[in-house]
Amino acid sequence: MLARRKRAWIQGVRDITRSLVTGVIICKYWTVNPEASQSMNILLKIIMFFSISFGLAMPALGQNNRDELKKKVDAVITQAYKEAVVKFPCNLKTSGKAKMGRWKDVENCVNPAHDLVDWETHAEALKKIREDERVSREDMAIVVDAALAAQALSYDKVFLVKDKEAGEALLPLSNSLLKFLPDNSLAELTVYDKKGNLLGIFIGAYSFERSGGLEFLTGYSMVNFQYTDLNGVAQAPGERFLLDSYGVPWRDAWHQPGFRLPANKLLR
């Protein structure tokens, strides 16, 4: 999108320069042909008017292009979310003294929602938009990412927690939950273990690659999170797979963005 805007400005400058050169030539002609002064004066004013008008209109045209691109991308992303949420909200039951949400309930909710999306169709639609609008892959990725983040669903749209448990329940920080976590969501919330002990403050989630072993022929992506412990030191769980060992209070999390579709299957 930025590259396209730059090209438009360059072309506009060229057009204006061409018009000014033409104006100079006309002025010279005017000088050696006084009898043509009246008609040349009118023509010169017309040329200068359109040159200036075009230059002033360029920023507006760029804005219109961006707005149109955003509108088209938003429509595709909206449809993708509509497909994903057809079975939302899902019941999230709790267990144990700490009333930790069951990781299996999370997994059986968000992973099937991801699989309900017609990724192939939406990826092709976005590719066509990018090609039609002549947008670079990098700029298109920015627009798509912004649309996905803007339409992310809050946790109360994803899970149902019984009212009598909502005040004490913990939302489990499982792998399935973290891989759909929007940027900056849950930041500054308190983190507890499954026994109800306070561990610290949530910082954020991150993904990393693991090399394949006997179980995996190739590398695979994992997701984890960091928190600041009670001594102010950043920590990360050492477990290979996160299930229900850690959680944040539902009462603090329910209104935050919680389910964001990934961009990797949409960009080509």
Domain boundary among 30, 65, 100: 65
Q: In which band, very low, low, confident or very high, does the pLDDT at 24 lie, cut at 50, 70 and 90? A: very low
Pairwise CA distance, residues 48 & 21, whole Å? 11
Q: How does DSSP assign 46-69, residue by residue? A: HHHHHHHHHHHHHHHHHHHHHHHH
Q: Which two tokens stand for residue 139?
A: 């700029």
Instruction: Tell me, yes or no, whether 115 and 164 share the same domain.
Output: yes
Looking at the fold, whether 232 and 128 belong to one and the same domain comes out as yes
Do 216 and 142 share a structural domain? yes
Are residues 180 and 254 both part of a single domain?
yes
Report yes or no on 268 lying in a domain.
no
Residue 26: what pLDDT?
44
Domain edge (last residue) among 65, 100, 117: 65
Specify whether 96 is located in the same domain as 215. Answer: yes
Are residues 42 and 123 located together in one domain of the fold? Answer: no
In a domain, 119, yes or no: yes
| Same domain flag for 91 and 11 | no
Residues 6+ apart with CB under 8 A from 160: 89, 90, 91, 92
Question: Whole domain around residue 187: which residue ranges?
Answer: 84-259
Task: Please give the C-alpha separations between residue 161 and each of 119, 167, 169, 188, in angstroms, as whole numbers.
Answer: 30, 10, 8, 22
- Kindly report, residue by residue over 144-186, the tens digit of the pLDDT: 999 999 999 999 999 999 998 899 999 999 999 999 999 999 9
Q: Are 260 and 110 in contact (CB under 8 A)?
A: no
Q: What is the pLDDT of residues 126-136, one digit of tens each?
A: 999 999 999 99
Instruction: Classify strands 159-160 and 90-91 as parallel, antiparallel or unpaired.
Output: parallel
- Predicted confidence (pLDDT) per residue in 182-203, tens digit: 999 999 999 999 999 999 999 9
Query: Are the beta carbons of 41 and 30 closer than 8 angstroms?
Result: yes
CB atoms within 10 A of CB 187: 11
**217 located within any domain:** yes
Q: Are residues 43 and 139 in the same domain?
A: no
The count of other CB atoms within 10 Å of the CB of residue 236 is 11
Asked if residue 121 and residue 14 are part of one domain, the reply reads: no
Closest CA to 253 of 106, 77, 107: 106
* Average pLDDT of the chain, as a whole number: 83
- CA-CA distance, 192 to 195, in Å (whole number)? 8
The residues near 6 (Cβ < 8 Å, ≥ 6 apart) are none
| C-alpha separations of 239 from 142, 218, 222, 243 in Å | 33, 21, 11, 9
255 inside domain: yes
User: Is 21's pLDDT higher than 70?
Assistant: no
- 33 within some domain: yes
pLDDT score for 241 = 85
State the pLDDT confidence band at 4, using cuts at 50, 70 and 90.
Answer: very low
Q: Residue holding tokens 């100079």?
A: 24
Residue 108 falls inside a structural domain: yes
Amino acid at 107: E
Q: Do 254 and 178 share a structural domain?
A: yes
- pTM of this prediction exceeds 0.95: no
Q: Count the domains in the chain.
A: 2
pLDDT for residue 2 is more than 50? no
As a whole number, mean pLDDT of residues 237-247 equals 90
Is the residue at 264 inside a domain?
Answer: no
Residues, the chain: 268
- Does a structural domain hold residue 11? yes
pLDDT at 30: 42
239 close to 154: Cβ distance less than 8 angstroms? no
Domain identity same for 133 and 255: yes
Are 97 and 188 part of one and the same domain? yes
204 — alpha (psi -120 to 50), left (phi > 0) or beta?
A: left
pLDDT tens for 38-85 read 655 555 555 555 554 545 444 444 667 889 999 999 999 999 999 999
